[in-house]
Each structure stands twice: as structure tokens, then as C-alpha cells.
């Protein structure tokens, strides 16, 4: 059987605060349609200069810990040369260097192969742009 490629774009509204949005269920729904029980790779990509994709535990405080760590590493103040938008917005443009805009994950028998506590998440610290797209692509 020849390799197949499928893709879908998710449209999300992240709101006016820093967020970690769990995409795991959306990834599973996409794979139910796209993978058809096949092995392959899922690529998750956010085409924005101020957001990233992380694989981490959620719901037990790790998502809040990540945002707190990013506030420490990338303070929202006037130190940034990229100075348009809300105060400290320049840090949002540095975020993808620490939380990359993509993740490629294994798919086995049509299911995302994550560890017990792992989730696929959109990390968005940009309070100026709540409208986000995330591209899911399956190759298998």
C-alpha cells in the first residue's frame, strides 16, 4: 500500500490570557479519520510566530508550571527590541525558540502513541491574538 498524506486545520480561540490548550482529543479525532488503523507519523504545526507545541502532562499543574516558567524566562516587560503590541509582546516572538511551533509523534495502529501522562498542547502567551490555527498532518 502506498504512503498516504492527510491534513486538517484546527481553528482555535485562546482568549485574552496566556494558555496551554490540550489538543490530544482533536489529534485522536483526526487520526480516527486519517490513519484508518495504519502506522505513521502525526505532525502538529502552529503557523504563528508567537505560539508553540508542547508534549506535557496537563491537569495536575504542569501546564500552569510551564506558563510560570515561561514568565520567569521571558518576562513581559520593556526589555524586548520587538516592541509593538501589549507591553512585553516581544517575548511572545522568542517563545518558539523554547517551545517549538511543531511536534512529530508516532502513530501505531491508527492511534497516537503517547506516554501515560503525555498530552499534545498548544502553548500561547500572546494575548494580542486569540485566533489560532493548528495544522494536523498524518503520513502513513
Q: CA-to-CA distance for 96 and 16, rounded, in angstroms?
A: 19
Note the pLDDT tens digit of each residue in 20-70.
999 999 999 999 999 999 999 999 999 999 999 999 999 899 999 999 999
Task: Place 15 in a pLDDT band, splitting at 50, 70 and 90.
Answer: confident
Residue-wise pLDDT tens digits, 87-97: 889 999 999 99
Query: Could you give the count of Cα atoms lying within 13 Å of 12 in the half-sphere of its Cβ?
Result: 24
CATH assignment of 5-139, among 2.60.120.460, 3.30.365.10, 1.10.10.10, 3.40.50.300 = 2.60.120.460
Q: How far is 56 from 106, CA to CA, in rounded Å?
A: 15
Give all strands of the β-sheet with 5-13 in edge-to-edge order.
5-13, 131-139, 40-45, 102-108, 111-112
Contact 122, 12 (CB under 8 A): yes
63-80 pLDDT, tens digit each: 999 999 999 999 999 999
Between 8 and 86, whose confidence is greater? 8
Q: What's the predicted TM-score (pTM) here? A: 0.94
pLDDT for 1 beyond 60: no
Look at residue 70 and give its three-state secondary structure: helix
Q: Cα separation of 11 and 49, whole Å?
A: 16
pLDDT confidence tier of residue 2, bands split at 50, 70 and 90? low
pLDDT at 86: 87
Domain residue spans in the chain? 5-139
Counting Cβ atoms within 10 Å, is residue 49 exposed (0-12), middle (13-18) or buried (19+)?
middle
Amino acid at each position: 500500500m502506498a504512503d498516504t498524506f492527510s491534513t486538517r486545520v484546527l481553528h482555535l480561540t485562546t482568549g485574552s490570557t496566556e494558555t496551554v490548550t490540550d489538543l490530544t482529543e482533536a489529534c485522536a479525532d483526526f487520526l480516527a479519520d486519517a490513519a484508518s488503523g495504519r502506522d505513521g507519523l502525526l505532525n502538529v504545526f502552529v503557523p504563528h510566530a508567537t505560539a508553540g507545541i508542547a508534549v506535557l502532562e496537563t491537569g495536575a499543574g504542569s501546564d500552569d508550571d510551564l506558563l510560570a516558567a515561561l514568565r520567569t524566562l521571558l518576562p513581559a516587560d520593556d526589555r524586548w527590541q520587538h516592541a509593538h503590541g501589549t507591553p512585553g509582546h516581544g517575548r511572545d516572538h522568542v517563545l518558539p525558540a523554547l517551545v517549538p511551533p511543531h511536534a512529530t509523534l508516532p502513530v501505531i495502529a491508527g492511534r497516537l502513541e503517547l506516554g501515560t501522562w503525555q498530552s499534545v498542547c498548544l502553548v500561547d502567551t500572546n494575548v494580542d491574538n486569540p485566533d489560532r490555527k493548528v495544522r494536523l498532518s498524518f503520513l502513513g
